[in-house]
Amino acid sequence: MNKMLTAIVLAGAFSAASVLAADVQESWDKQCAKCHGADGAGQTAMGKKLKLKDYTDASVQASFTDEEAVKAIKEGVKEDGKTKMKGYADSLSDEEINALVAHVRSFKK
């Protein structure tokens, strides 16, 4: 009985995790890729205009911490009082934001 229960709990955990991975890919593609690019390199029309960093570049990845990335996604990015990236604190959960940071990290080549 106990083994059975463990199997059920584990199956639940795995399917939740895989749904989340698909969700993160979808959020990135829908909400972030128009600026940062599907591959994170920032080579989109918006990305070039905003001079986005190339997240496939290891030195770029090293230039910010996970905490800074979380903060940028939550609160957005402003420069000279102008919003360059809006904050997503209202529309994304902490779990989704953490997963997006992991997604950003995965672009590193």
Question: Residues interacting with ligand HEC, by CB under 6 A?
Answer: 27, 31-32, 34-36, 46, 50, 52-53, 64, 68-69, 72-73, 77, 84-85, 88, 100, 104
Q: How far is the CB of 50 from ligand HEC (least distance, A)?
A: 4
User: Between 2 and 48, whose beta carbon lies closer to ligand HEC?
Assistant: 48
Tokens 């905003």, residue located: 50
Contact 100, 28 (CB under 8 A): yes
CA dihedral 73→66→107→87, nearest 10 degrees, is 0
User: Between 35 and 38, whose beta carbon lies closer to ligand HEC?
Assistant: 35
Tokens matching residue 68: 């800074």
